[in-house]
Structure 1
């Protein structure tokens, strides 16, 4: 069914449209999301409805955010369109608080994301973490690896730290390129991000954590006493039991949080 729909539609390169067409993967994803009528669900980039249609079967209403008006014209012809609450907007600047009504306290978000916006979208969504129950997204394999990377690993960086600060992250499914139309040049991974209920991390000011990690990883080949010298003296680092001769990728999230809190206290 979804392959027939694809043949009638021309994906736009500027929106990074690669539509999931493998039925088994679609069924597995819907089963993992496990939508309930008592929940508010929002899909980012419904595309040709591969996930939209089966998820609508479990719901009275599904919120969708889609930037491409041609996709929305396509969806208007689908039998499930009456169940959609549509926002024709850019997901990276969308205000997710606007979709919640008094009936729901939290929202569940999912989507097969265009790879060119996935990192900026995730960082945008963290601004709404207090109203998000969970998120399920299809990412480019490299992005997924960055999300779950640990200190010392190749993909460990700012995205790893900020994402794991907010969420517990699990890799769920590996999806090969041939499961999409048009076929992308990369492998994909379906990922769950669930906000911490009892977070292992704490910072007084998240902007300081962002700033410190930016400084550290912009100069990731430099050791910390050089990359962070504008923010911390070598003595400051030693006092926090952080080796000033280590590089950015060797410092744990807890240690970055300690640095952020130390800077907060210094600036008070």
Structure 2
């Protein structure tokens, strides 16, 4: 599809036209480099057969690169001015009618997506990246895979293995849905305005079979939050309030789950946390 991508000068001109000044509150850092947005689309292996959801399309840099692949796009944008301008921008750059659907909404409140997207590709606002990802994975089971650009520190946490210094609650909760991987670094110089932090691409693939039902997910996440709420403590202490009230009672549940009561949360896999949630449910 012959699509013209946005350049730095055109992005600034578009922003001026609709009187948009990038705000930290909305996490707006617009990508002004065509090579970078193409890199994101390639990392996500987007094809013309894909239905893509993009969160925070902004002025349309990444949107156009996704549409260039021939895929259809549902774009979720919280800024009313940007949402209103996006269709005209993509039409002016060679995209046919019907390829783009714009949802003027807060991504954290969206519960229905037109077109039933199966791929998530986005430059996520730094301040809400993890909540948005977890909300979309929980709410839209049809999303099978994706690549998102996030703050480097956040991306490293999402992809961290057990035992890593940055392994934490986001790592475990993301792993509930499937494996995550770092898919490349992104220079801060490709953004306008230039952020004070580096960015990375993070890819994910949803497991073919769900790890459990919604009740088990909630129970597991409750254990995860308790374990990392006091991450320096042994699990028998950190989980005591949740698993009976005493270290001895917590130890009994942990032992029934096949987990060492003297371990710490950062040592456990997602399967370990699931086992604890199941054991707790059995009243072990």
* TM score, norm. by length of structure 1: 0.89
**Bigger Cα displacement from structure 2, 186-195 vs 59-68:** 59-68
Aligned to 1:41: 52
Aligned to 2:10: 5
Aligned to 1:247: 264
CA deviation string 1:104-146 (max 9, x = no partner): 6x52111101001101101111223521121211011111111
Distance 2:181 2:269 in 1: 19
> Cα–Cα, structure 1 residues 255 and 111, in superposed 2: closer, same or farther, change >3 Å?
same
Aligned residues: 261
Aligned to 1:87: 103
Aligned to 2:129: 118
Secondary structure of the 1:167 match is coil
Q: What is the CA distance between 1:19 and its match in structure 2?
A: 1.0
Q: What is the CA distance between 1:231 and its match in structure 2?
A: 3.1
Query: Any residues of structure 2 matched to 1:226-265 within 5 Å, and which?
Result: 226-232=237-243, 233=249, 234-265=251-282
Q: What is the CA distance between 1:198 and its match in structure 2?
A: 4.9
Gaps of 5+ in 2: 1-5, 16-20, 244-248
CA deviation string 1:3-57 (max 9, x = no partner): 0123222212221110112222222222223433332112111112111113223
Query: Any residues of structure 2 matched to 1:1-268 within 5 Å, and which?
Result: 1-8=6-13, 9=15, 10-59=21-70, 61-78=72-89, 79=92, 80=95, 82=97, 83-96=99-112, 98-100=113-115, 107-198=118-209, 205-232=216-243, 233=249, 234-266=251-283
Distance 1:76 1:41 in 2: 16
Gaps of 5+ in 1: none
> Cα–Cα, structure 1 residues 13 and 231, in superposed 2: closer, same or farther, change >3 Å?
closer
Residues 173 and 191 in structure 1, CA contact (< 8 A), matched pair in contact too: yes
Q: What is the CA distance between 1:166 and its match in structure 2?
A: 0.6
CA deviation string 1:64-97 (max 9, x = no partner): 111111212432442148432111000111114x
> Cα–Cα, structure 1 residues 57 and 242, in superposed 2: closer, same or farther, change >3 Å?
closer
Compute the RMSD of aligned alpha carbons.
2.2
Residues 2 and 48 in structure 1, CA contact (< 8 A), matched pair in contact too: no
Distance 2:51 2:256 in 1: 47
Q: What is the CA distance between 1:59 and its match in structure 2?
A: 2.8
Secondary structure of the 2:127 match is coil
Q: What is the CA distance between 1:174 and its match in structure 2?
A: 0.2
* TM score, norm. by length of structure 2: 0.84
